Structure formats: C-alpha cells, structure tokens
Amino acid sequence: MFRFAALAVVSVPLHAQIPPMPPVSLAETPAMRAAASIASSTAAAAEDWRTHAERTDWRETGSYREAVEFHQRLARASRFAQLESIGITSEGRPLYVLIASKDRAFTPAAARRTGKPVLLIQNGIHPGENGGKDAAMMLLRDLLVTRRMAALLDRVIVLSIPVLNADGHENVSPYHRLHENGPAAMGFRASALNLNLNRDYVKADSPEIRAFLRVFAAWNPDFLLDNHVTNGGDAEYDVTIATHTEQDIDEEVGAWVKTDYIPALFGRLEPLGHVVGWYGAPNALTAAPRFSTGYAAARNRASLLVETHALKSFRTRAWSHYDIMLATLELLAEKGRALAAASLAADRRMRDLAPGTPVFLEGEPGDPTEPYTIRRLATENYTGAASGVETPRYVNRPAYAVTRLNRSLKPRLVKPAPAGYIIPRPWQSVIDVLRAHGVRMETLEREREEMFETYRFEQVQFAPTPFEGRFLLRSLQAMPVREPRRMPAGSIWVPVAQPAGKLVMHFLEPESGDSAVKWGFFHAIFEQKEYFSDYAFEPYAARMLEADPALKREFEAAQLPPGRARLAWLHRRSPYLEKTKDAYPVVRVP
C-alpha cells in the first residue's frame, strides 16, 4: 500500500494576485481597429458558425477541443472538405489536418493529378501566439460554409493544421505572454516535453513534428504559411514577414517568391491599411532548416513566416493573419500553377543531381542591398521604481531608421554532393530521423569493407548548457579522410539524388548547423573508452620517439610539461588509440 505525505498549504503572496497588465500598441491605426475583412467574415456567418474569439468580441480564444470540433463541423458541412488525423501528441491528444479541395482530391496522389498548387497553413506551433488559429478557422468557413471565397478552391488546394502544439495550447494561463495584448488567457510556447517545436524540424524529437513531417513528405506542398506573433518594441507594423529567395532554395522556386509573390503581397496588403515590414530587418531573416521556413527551403518549397505584432490587439492580429492568408490564396489562384511547375522541376533537378555538384548549405548576409526604412516609434526614458535605472517607454511619434535592407546571401558552407551516404546499422536513431522525413533509403544486404571517404573531428567543443533537450556541439573541425571502414549488413544507403537530397546533406554533413553531429546524435564517438597506465605505456612511448625522428621533432616542438601530458600526446598518435574515437561513423560514397 502506498502512503502519501500530506500536501503543504502554500499561501499566495500579494504580488502574485496582481492581474496581468497587457501592453497596448501606441501605433494602432483606424484601419487596424476596424479590421474590415474579419468584420465582414463575422457578419456573413450565422451565430452558430462563429468562433469563440468572435463570440467574445476577441477577448478570449477557444480551447483545442473547440477548434477540433469546428474543423469537424467544416468537414461535415462541405463535401469539399475532409479532416484527417495525422498523429498523437505527447499527452495523447490527436492532431489533424483539414483538406479543402473542389476536386475532392483528399490524397496526395489525387492532388497531384489536378495540377493545382497546394497551400499548407500551419497554426499554433507556438500556441500563446494567437490570431492565426482563429483567422484560419474564419477563412476556412468563408471557403466552405458561407462560400464567400469559394471560387479560390477552383484553383488551389488548401491544407490547414488547426493547432500543431496541442499540448502547449491547453497549458493555459493569463501570464504566459508578458508582451502580448490579449486574449485573456493563452497557451504555452513549448510542448509537453518542454520543446520549442519550431527548432525541431530537422532533429524531429517530438511526436508533433513527426506528424508534420508525415504530412509534408506525403503532400510535398508548394507553399507553407506559418502563423506566429512576435515580441519586441513598439512599432508601426502590424505584421512582418520572412521568406527564402536566394541560394538556400531552388533557384526557380526562389525566383517565383521574389518576383511573382512578394511584390504582389505587399501590393495587396498595404491598400487595406496593413503596415508590412521585413522580420529581422535590416537583415531579412534567412532561417536554418530547424525552423519551419528553413525546412521548406531545404525541401525546395516556397514558404512565408508571418509574425504579427504582440502589442497590437488580438482582433488586429487576427485581421493581419486573415488578410495575409487570403492574399496568398488569391495569388496562388492567379499564379500558383507556375509555382507548382517550379516545385516539380526542383524535385527533378534534385533527382538528377550529379555527384560533385556544389550544394549550398549555409549563408550569411551578402550583397546587394536595397534602401529600406524601419518604422519604429520614439522612446523617452524615466527612472524605474523597481529597477532604479533609466528605463525606456514608447511615445506615439515616429522614429524611423533609414538603412539598407539585406535580402541576399553569400556562401558560408557549400559542400560537393556525394552519390550518397552509408549509415552503419547500429546508428538507428539517425536512420529513424531520416525515415521520419520520408527520405528514400535502401538496406545493404551484404557487408561492405573498403576504403571510404569520411571525417575525423578535432577541436570539439560542447555548449555548456542544454538547448531543446540536447547538448549541442558548439564548434568542431571536420577533417576529410579516406580510410578503411567496415559497413555491416543491414547498414543504410542514403542516395543524395532524390527530392529530399539537400535535407539529407543538411543532416549528414557534420559541419552543417543542423547536422546530426551538431545536434548530439553521435556524442558517444567523442568518448574515449580505453586508457593507459603510465608504467605500461612509457616503454612503448620511448620506442616511438626512437623509431620516428619526425615524430620526435614534433613532440619536442609541442613543449609539453613533463608527466602524463606527454604520454597522452604520444598515445593519441599510437596504434593503441581506439580507431572509433572522434571518427564519424557515416561514410560518403563519391
């Protein structure tokens, strides 16, 4: 029989009873407050089709259960919609994607036969960042129920994930987002495993991202739109955006985004009263594959990161999300077949990728730049009663910063593509991640023992604290080597010439920022398992110096202190050092 200790009664201090103090933007315009598009959407909907946010005049957002039930009703109400289960969260909640198709193309194969572009809308990866979820429900209602926007489904297929981080969505508190102006209570940024899912796209530690990857691998959507809310100081912007157009994405796909989409998006939003800017300006953000849009770029797919501003009201943020999603749908309806063709061409180019072709894996801001004005608000200082120091506060007066916007990249890491990689059978965790991404692989039926290209590592440094549940390698030197290796039967052959080939290189090239090595899948190779006793190794070490004059000169030049440090230096250069130490288990096949 279990016995439980009595629970102590914890008194709540007075300061914990202070209600939340949501900040309010000083730069909300009449157009933002009017939020015309969502006002029209609400007016067109019957009362029983209005969301929780609409029914509470945007004071609250509904529960995950309410969101799921709303999507279930959409699927029942329209023959052009189907709700599919895509996975289960850590706490056991089912995850869904709603498919809206005029052709009833509810499978990836059927969708491909239509030739129509596929838009995937992702909501609630950070559930405290509200607006996208509710706006997406309203837009789907306008497509499927009130049918105000139904004509768009003649030329576009829409997939929408109601909430990706459902566990975080249900971890509700009025105190989760200090900077956010409503709703009254909101979900938490991280999942039940305390993972930020928008850092998990490559390593795929969470069941939620594994569910997303199944959808992405099956459907290969032409455009991913990811809804977020950003913090930061007050500004005139109601929304900022980021996307990929340069060398980190297929050239043809990037050109469509840069030429056909972005100028038209700004051209549609600004006349509606939106103040749109570039997220991260003056350097327009280019995300690594661990992030949603960076992942799409690694798969050579177009994407848009939407960051509405936390200081704007919940209603204003929903208006921004609604109009960006609608404008994107309209542009895909007008120009999306060219994007769909570019997506297929990008896949063909990856399937035909010749070994030795340079593959761009990482870049940094380059040239050219373009004139740009950051539309900030002015600040004044006062002495904070709590901090006792000068503290800024915003005033409703423009303080624009005239600068140069950098949307270009220069290479930082470019690697020649191998024909493929072989992953030894014991490293199943790495194989499982690639399988989760839908990567094409083959199992070796026979052992292979031969000379292979691979890497050995030097100057390895680990991060001092964990990040997203893992201790990352902060830095390392990957030294290319060619040496004999034995690949046991059951090892996995991963060809690079496939649509996901660039992602394969991001994960298996150790110097890449999102490589399996950097994320800690191979930490054991940096551990030495066999050591030496001084009395046993000293005679052998002395013989090494006698037998090799060059080694002796290098040893003397090292000027090591007497004792074990000298023996350790020689041990690292002796045949007794285990061959697996600092050796990358994965090999490259040219």
Compute CA 42 distance to the chain's CA centroid, rounded to the nearest angstrom: 32
- Mean pLDDT to the nearest integer, 17-38: 92
Task: Determine the pLDDT at residue 272.
Answer: 98
- Residue-averaged pLDDT of the chain: 95
pLDDT > 90 in the chain, percent: 93
Structure tokens at 260: 């056909």
459 sits in which H/E element = strand 448-462
Residue 386 has pLDDT above 70, yes or no: yes
Residues near 78 by Cβ (< 8 Å), separated by ≥ 6? 100, 144, 145
- Mean pLDDT to the nearest integer, 79-85: 98
Q: Measured between alpha carbons, how far is 369 from 231 in angstroms, rounded to an integer?
A: 26
Mark residue 476 as left, alpha or beta (left: phi above 0; alpha: psi -120 to 50; beta: remaining).
Answer: beta
- Mean pLDDT to the nearest integer, 558-569: 95
Task: Determine the pLDDT at residue 5.
Answer: 53
- Mean pLDDT to the nearest integer, 527-552: 94
Contact of 200 with 206, CB cutoff 8 Å: yes
Task: Determine the pLDDT at residue 284.
Answer: 82
Q: How far apart are the first and last CA of the chain?
A: 63
Query: Per-domain residue ranges for the chain?
Result: 48-350, 370-407, 416-590
Q: Which CATH number fits domain 48-350: 3.40.630.10, 3.30.470.10, 3.10.620.30, 3.40.50.300?
A: 3.40.630.10
Residues near 54 by Cβ (< 8 Å), separated by ≥ 6? 42, 45, 134, 138
- pLDDT tier, 20 (very low <50, low <70, confident <90, very high otherwise): confident
Residue 14 has pLDDT above 90, yes or no: no
413 sits in which H/E element = strand 409-416
CA distances to 56, 101, 325 from 152, rounded to whole Å, are 29, 10, 12
Residue 169 has pLDDT above 70, yes or no: yes
List b or e across 301-312, with b for residues whose CB sees 16 or more CB atoms inside 10 angstroms.
bbbbbbbbbbbb
Contact of 372 with 284, CB cutoff 8 Å: no
- Mean pLDDT to the nearest integer, 73-87: 98
Q: Measured between alpha carbons, how far is 230 from 261 in angstroms, rounded to an integer?
A: 23
Helices (H) and strands (E) in the chain, counts: 18, 20
Q: Measured between alpha carbons, how far is 394 from 392 in angstroms, rounded to an integer?
A: 7
Contact of 195 with 469, CB cutoff 8 Å: yes
Would you list the DSSP string of 223-292?
Answer: EEEEEEEE-SS-BS-SEEEE---STTS-HHHHHIIIIIIHHHHHHHHGGGT--EEETTTTB-----TTSH
Nearest to 320 by CA among 232, 396, 237, 377: 237
Residue 71 has pLDDT above 60, yes or no: yes
- pLDDT tier, 22 (very low <50, low <70, confident <90, very high otherwise): confident
Note the pTM of the prediction, 2 decimals: 0.95
Residue 507 has pLDDT above 90, yes or no: yes
